[in-house]
Structures are given as structure tokens and as C-alpha cells.
């Protein structure tokens, strides 16, 4: 036993990195390895239901607060949200609070447009990139509540009937930081409805806002994105273009199993050595 | 000009080139997990250079030009009384450059004073309002909560917060009831840290999965580049790299 413990103790950390690497990449090569099913959380369901309840011609405001470094977690959920809006013929306004997020958002819409189902969508009609403004959220919100269109200096058919932010049905913020809190703080004052799509790291910070009803819904991490995909698929969306997050879920499961294994091994060595030292 | 555009289209904007670059840079960055090496440094500096360059160009086009240069130009061509406000703010913002001077750095304090006053005046009321919203949610009648889970959650939040605070209460020796409470407090804190750590690990792995997906979808490029990088690392650490000697360490 001692030899095994000594061997395990001296494993080079690079072997662990390699195992984690393989556990992430193998499920993409063998997709049938983990054909897992999981339930949908209440928070994800709420976001889906809210968009599902919107009428044709309604408008949503997306706060695209993430750049390529967080795209693995947030892009699948943002894409699904936008696609659902297009399914419901809801107008989509996308605002970028950070400059580095703009190209990612523009590329995402180009990719969505490539799908046959959404080939009709047009910039300025069905969606619009509002760009970046070098001002704080509060100033932007005050300006939007005064005159929505001139806040961004953009033109298009999409603005028809949208005078102020009151005409926007829902605000959805996709972020990997606490940035959506700047909207939440002003939510009481203006009374808009909002939800968030956040990374697993920043997710726990937003749970208190769900409990108080300040947030209507939350898509949480890669799992939340996969839940959202499943919801859309169960309501008739094609699997072909809507499985990005689901594809990553198998990798997430396998890599976590490997981590559990090593945490178990670490604990085993710790307690074994403690016992061994006591007996000597 | 057309020749340059065609060249850019067929090289940098070429889809195959982009895929290979994406795989190459991903594996270059991952090579750090083996050991710090020149390929990692190259990838790191490429990323920094490109992101800073891109950021500056975008910032110039989307912030400086529309909100500074264009209004100044318009004011110069056709001055209106309200342009005085613009000049005032340009002067106010311009005071930031006095930070470079040792003697005149205090001038920039006026701008900061305004900024801090604005942020405090704006943030304090809405933060307090937010605290009231959060607090009032905890003051609902306990047994009117919809489920047993909601009631138990209330107990966990109230007693968890209290016992957590007691852990940091050092005005009295931690004995008796205070010791028991602080022990419960540390358990609550550890549970939170565990949950936060678990979520962080899940998030980090999810980020890596994004890169793994790129590698898995482009098998050919991944295998070829992985082999080439492995050969480079072998050659570099076997024949070129020298462990820093005592003299080198002393010099640094």
C-alpha cells in the first residue's frame, strides 16, 4: 500500500493536466459516450417562458457584456435567446458595454443568419447593433427613458414605435462579471423587467436578486445554456444548429469525474498518512 | 490597393488560415502547462498586442471621434451657445493630463472630486434602496412561505449570517456558546466557499471546453500542430534551454 501511496503522491501535475485535457476533448470525438439527460432549472424555464410570452413586434434589449474569453459559456445561451426572439418575431436591440464584445456579437448574428430558418433577418429591421457608448449605465438608462433612438444615434425600421425604454418588453444581460448589477440597482426606479445569462463563476452573486424578484430569470453557466437549448429543441427547434452547449456538457461531466477521482485520491493519501504517522 | 485587399482576403481572412491560426495559438498557450517556453511567450505577446491594438482602434472610432473630435469640428464650423458646455467638459477632462506634472498634479483633483461626488451621490441612495429591497424580502411572515424549503432557507440565511459574523467577533474570548456559534459560522462560510469554488472550477473548465471544441472540430490541424509543438519543446528543452545557474540567479 505504501508504494501505491508514494506513487500517487509523486504523480507529476502534468499527467493530471493531460487527463483533464483528454476528458474534455474525447467526448467531442465520441459523442455517444455520455448521452446524458438533465432537468431544466426553474430560472432557465422562466427566461424561456417570458420570451415565449412576447408578441410579434415586441422588443427586447440585450446587454452583450462579454468578449471572446467567455464565449464558451455565454455565446450558446445568447444565440439561443436571440433565435427564440426571431422565432417569435420579436425585435432585438443589442448593446455592447465593452468594445471588445462588438465583433463577437456581430459574428454571432452573421452565423445565425447563415441558418436557412433565419436567412430573412436584416440588420436595422429585425435586429440592430447599437454599438458602444462611453458612458455609465445610469446615464444611458436616463437617456433611453428620455429618447431611445437618439441615445445611440442609429437609424432603422426597427425603431418604429419605440420612443423610450418603456416600449422595450424585456432586458436580458449576458455577462461574466457583476456588470448587470448596474441595471438591477436602477430597476426599482424605472420598473423594467430583466433577466441575466451569467457564467458559473459569477452566477451565485445573482441568486439573491432572483429571490427578491428583481430578476425574472437566470441562465446559469454552460448547463443553463444546455437547458435552454433543450427547451428550444423540445419546442420544435432543429438539433443540427442548437446543440453547442449540449456538446460541451459531456466534456464537463467527464472532466468533473476525473477531478472527483483526484480529489478522492488526495483525501485518501492525506488520511492514510495521518493514520500511518499515528501508528508509528 | 485591390492587390493588397486580394492578398489580405486570400491569407489573413482565408477560412483555412484562420482555423490553423486558431489551433496554433490555442496549443501555443496550452504549452505553458508543460513548462514556460518561447512559444507560450510568443502567443501571450501576440494576444496582448492584437487585443490592445484592436481595442485602441475601436476606442478611437467609437469614442474619441464621435464624442470629441466630431463635436469640436462642428463647434468650430458653426459655434452655438450650447457648445460652451462641450468646451467646459473638454477642459475638465483635460485636467487629467496634469497628473504627469509633479507641481501641478493637484489641478486634476477637481475632476476627481466631481467624479467621486457624482458617483457617491448617485450610488449611495440606490445601493441603500437595494439593501431595503433585499432586507424586506427577509421580513415576510415566516409561516406564510409557500414551502418547507423556503422556511428552511430563511433559517439558514438568518442564523448562517449571524453565526458567520460571530466567527469574526474577537471582542470576547471564543468560549462556550460563542465558540459553538462561531464553529457553525465557519461551517457556513466553508460551505459557501466550497460552492463558489465548485462553480469557479465548472466555469474554468467550461472556458477550456470552448477551446477543446475548436481542437476537436479541426482534427487534422490539431494533430499536425500538436506534433510540431511537441518536437519544438523536445528540441528546445533538450538542446537549447539552460537551467539558470547560480551566477544568473545572483545577477537577477
Cβ-Cβ contacts under 8 Å, B34 against chain A:
14
Identify the pLDDT of residue B139: 80
What is the spatial distance between Cα B88 and Cα B70, in angstroms, rounded to a whole number?
Answer: 16
pLDDT score of A173 more than 70:
yes
Mean pLDDT for B119-143 is 85
Interface test with B, best of A33, A175, A198, A212 (most B CBs within 10 A): A212
Cβ-Cβ contacts under 8 Å, B200 against chain A:
200-201
Q: B82: Cβ–Cβ under 8 A, 6 or more apart, which residues? A: none
Higher pLDDT, A3 or A164: A164
User: Which among A64, A90, A44, A43 has a CA at the least distance from the CA of A232?
Assistant: A44
In tens, the pLDDT along A225-236 reads 999 999 999 998
Identify the pLDDT of residue B251: 56
- Write down the H helix ranges in chain B: 2-10, 15-30, 38-59, 70-77, 83-94, 108-137, 148-167, 176-217, 219-235, 246-251
Of B34, B196, B217, the CB nearest to A204: B196
pLDDT score of B242 more than 70:
yes
Q: Would you state the cell numbers that stand for residue A112, as one nine-digit string?
A: 445565425
Identify the pLDDT of residue B53: 93
pLDDT score of B248 more than 70:
no
Nearest CA in chain A to B137: A212
Identify the pLDDT of residue B188: 93
3-state class (DSSP) for residue A177: coil
Q: Would you state the cell numbers that stand for residue B10, as one nine-digit string?
A: 486570400
What is the spatial distance between Cα B28 and Cα B26, in angstroms, rounded to a whole number?
Answer: 5
Looking up cell 418604429 gives: A160
Alpha carbon distance, N-terminus to C-terminus of chain A: 16
Judged by average pLDDT, the poorest of A185-189, B148-152, B194-198 is: B148-152
- The parent domain of residue B191 ranges over 138-238
Judged by average pLDDT, the poorest of A29-38, A203-212, B11-20, B86-95 is: A29-38
Task: Assign B247 a pLDDT band (cuts: 50, 70, 90).
Answer: low
What percent of chain A has a predicted confidence (pLDDT) above 90? Answer: 60
Residue B180 in domain: yes
Element (H, E) at A131: strand A127-131
Identify the pLDDT of residue A121: 94
pLDDT score of B249 more than 60:
no
What is the spatial distance between Cα A221 and Cα B202, in angstroms, rounded to a whole number?
Answer: 8
What is the spatial distance between Cα B141 and Cα A63, in angstroms, rounded to a whole number?
Answer: 36
Asked whether the beta carbons of residue A28 and residue B201 sit closer than 8 angstroms, the reply is: no
Determine the topology of domain A42-242 in CATH.
Rossmann fold (3.40.50)
Q: How many domains does chain B have?
A: 1
Residue B213 in domain: yes
Residue B22 in domain: no
Nearest CA in chain B to A72: B210
Residues in chain A: 280
Q: Would you state the cell numbers that stand for residue A154, as one nine-digit string?
A: 442609429
Per domain, the residue ranges of chain A are 2-34+251-279, 42-242
Chains A and B form CB pairs within 8 A to the count of 114
Q: Are A23 and A258 in contact (CB under 8 A)?
A: yes
Q: Measured between CB atoms, does B191 come within 8 Å of chain A?
A: no
Residue A60: count other Cβ atoms within 10 Å of its Cβ.
Answer: 25
Cβ-Cβ contacts under 8 Å, B62 against chain A:
99, 102, 131-132, 134
Amino acid at each position: 500500500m505504501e508504494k501505491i501511496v508514494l506513487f500517487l503522491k509523486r504523480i507529476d501535475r502534468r499527467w493530471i493536466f493531460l487527463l483533464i485535457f483528454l476528458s474534455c476533448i474525447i467526448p467531442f470525438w465520441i459523442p455517444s459516450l455520455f448521452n446524458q439527460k438533465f432537468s431544466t432549472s426553474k430560472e432557465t424555464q422562466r427566461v424561456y417562458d417570458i420570451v415565449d410570452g412576447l408578441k410579434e413586434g415586441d422588443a427586447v434589449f440585450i446587454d452583450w457584456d462579454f468578449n471572446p474569453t467567455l464565449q464558451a459559456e455565454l455565446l450558446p445561451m445568447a444565440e439561443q435567446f436571440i433565435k427564440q426572439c426571431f422565432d417569435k418575431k420579436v425585435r432585438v436591440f443589442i448593446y455592447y458595454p465593452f468594445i471588445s464584445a462588438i465583433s463577437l456579437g456581430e459574428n454571432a448574428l452573421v452565423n445565425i443568419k447563415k441558418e436557412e430558418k433565419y436567412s430573412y433577418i436584416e440588420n436595422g429591421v429585425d435586429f440592430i447593433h447599437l454599438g458602444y457608448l462611453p458612458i455609465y449605465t445610469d446615464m444611458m438608462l436616463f437617456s433611453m427613458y428620455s429618447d431611445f433612438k437618439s441615445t445611440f444615434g442609429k437609424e432603422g425600421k426597427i425603431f418604429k414605435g419605440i420612443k423610450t425604454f418603456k416600449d422595450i418588453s424585456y432586458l436580458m444581460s449576458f455577462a461574466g462579471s457583476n456588470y448587470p448589477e448596474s441595471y438591477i440597482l436602477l430597476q426599482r426606479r424605472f420598473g423594467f423587467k430583466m433577466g441575466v445569462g451569467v457564467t458559473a463563476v459569477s452566477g451565485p452573486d445573482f441568486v439573491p436578486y432572483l429571490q427578491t424578484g428583481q430578476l425574472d430569470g437566470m441562465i446559469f453557466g454552460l448547463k443553463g445554456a444546455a437547458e435552454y437549448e433543450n427547451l428550444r429543441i423540445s419546442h420544435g427547434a432543429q438539433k443540427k444548429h442548437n446543440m453547442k452547449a449540449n456538446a460541451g456538457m459531456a466534456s464537463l461531466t467527464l472532466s468533473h469525474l476525473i477531478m472527483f477521482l483526484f480529489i478522492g485520491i488526495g483525501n485518501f493519501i492525506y488520511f492514510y498518512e495521518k493514520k500511518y504517522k499515528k501508528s508509528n | 490597393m485591390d492587390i493588397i485587399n486580394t492578398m489580405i482576403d486570400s491569407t489573413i481572412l482565408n477560412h483555412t488560415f484562420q482555423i490553423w491560426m486558431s489551433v496554433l495559438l490555442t496549443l501555443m498557450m496550452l504549452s505553458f502547462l508543460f513548462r514556460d517556453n518561447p512559444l507560450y511567450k510568443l502567443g501571450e505577446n501576440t494576444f496582448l498586442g492584437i487585443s490592445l491594438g484592436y481595442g485602441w482602434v475601436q476606442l478611437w472610432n467609437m469614442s474619441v471621434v464621435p464624442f470629441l473630435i466630431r463635436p469640436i469640428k462642428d463647434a468650430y464650423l458653426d459655434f452655438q451657445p450650447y457648445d460652451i458646455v462641450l468646451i467646459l467638459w473638454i477642459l475638465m477632462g483635460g485636467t487629467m493630463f496634469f497628473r504627469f506634472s509633479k507641481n501641478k498634479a493637484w489641478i486634476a483633483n477637481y475632476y476627481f472630486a466631481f467624479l467621486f461626488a457624482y458617483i457617491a451621490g448617485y450610488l449611495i441612495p440606490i445601493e441603500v434602496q437595494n439593501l431595503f429591497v433585499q432586507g424586506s424580502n427577509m421580513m415576510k411572515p415566516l409561516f406564510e412561505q409557500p414551502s418547507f424549503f423556503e422556511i428552511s432557507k430563511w433559517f439558514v440565511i438568518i442564523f448562517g449570517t449571524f453565526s458567520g459574523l460571530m466567527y469574526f467577533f474577537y471582542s470576547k474570548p471564543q468560549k462556550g456558546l460563542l465558540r459553538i456559534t462561531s464553529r457553525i459560522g465557519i461551517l457556513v462560510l466553508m460551505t459557501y466557499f466550497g460552492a463558489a469554488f465548485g462553480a469557479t472550477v465548472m466555469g474554468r473548465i467550461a472556458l477550456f471546453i470552448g477551446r477543446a471544441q475548436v481542437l476537436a472540430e479541426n482534427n487534422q490541424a490539431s494533430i499536425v500542430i500538436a506534433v510540431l509543438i511537441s518536437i519544438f519543446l523536445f528540441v528546445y528543452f533538450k538542446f537549447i534551454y539552460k537551467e539558470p545557474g547560480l551566477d544568473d540567479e545572483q545577477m537577477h
